[in-house]
């Protein structure tokens, strides 16, 4: 079975976890729009699907490619100037002039940590629903 097939099986579960994960997003430095963009760059893999140490992990390899776009989202969002999410119009402007290199590294690290938390919560959800073994088996095949 292809990777896509097991991922297709958890679409509904991801929607449930998305709703449950709202508090984590709101307490993070990212807006909901930014989180949505981050998730477009995150893929999920199952490490060691053959044994009990199997874990759902966030593959964040493509995440650096969307980090600049996070600033653009802030610039387009009217509330960004008053938002305490760590970005905003001024940060976007400074980024145009070469500023924000360290900020992007910090943003990337924060996005990776949040994606990892999401993967853990998704795996926990699958386990609680009795679907984890089925998904592991599908990933193995």
**Helix segments in 27-100, DSSP class H:** 32-41, 67-76, 89-96
Closest alpha carbon to 14 in 136, 124, 130: 124
Mean residue pLDDT across the chain: 85
Distance between CA atoms of residues 11 and 40, nearest Å:
14
Distance between CA atoms of residues 28 and 26, nearest Å:
5
Please compute the mean of the pLDDT values over residues 1-16 and round it to a whole number: 85
Q: Give residue 47's pLDDT.
A: 96
pLDDT tens digits, one per residue of 22-34 = 999 999 999 999 9
Residues contacting 121, CB < 8 A, separation 6+: 17, 20, 21, 24
Q: Give residue 3's pLDDT.
A: 58
Please compute the mean of the pLDDT values over residues 103-132 and round it to a whole number: 96
Distance between CA atoms of residues 116 and 132, nearest Å:
17
Q: Give residue 74's pLDDT.
A: 67
pLDDT tens digits, one per residue of 34-93 = 999 999 999 999 999 999 899 999 999 999 999 989 878 867 765 544 444 455 544 544
Q: Give residue 100's pLDDT.
A: 52
Distance between CA atoms of residues 68 and 98, nearest Å:
12
Q: pLDDT-derived band of residue 103, with 50, 70 and 90 as boundaries?
A: confident
């Amino acid at each position: 079975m292809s990777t896509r097939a097991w991922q297709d099986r958890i679409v509904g579960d991801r929607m449930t976890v998305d709703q449950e994960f709202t508090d984590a997003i709101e307490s993070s430095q990212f807006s909901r729009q930014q989180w949505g963009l981050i998730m477009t760059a995150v893929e999920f893999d199952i490490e060691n699907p053959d044994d009990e140490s199997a874990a759902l992990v966030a593959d964040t390899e493509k995440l650096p490619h969307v980090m600049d776009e996070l600033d653009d989202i802030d610039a387009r969002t009217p509330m960004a100037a008053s938002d305490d999410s760590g970005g905003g119009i001024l940060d976007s402007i400074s980024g145009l002039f070469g500023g924000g290199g360290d900020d992007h590294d910090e943003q990337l690290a924060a996005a990776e940590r949040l994606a990892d938390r999401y993967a853990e919560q998704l795996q926990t959800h699958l386990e609680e629903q009795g679907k984890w073994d089925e998904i592991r088996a599908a990933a193995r095949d």
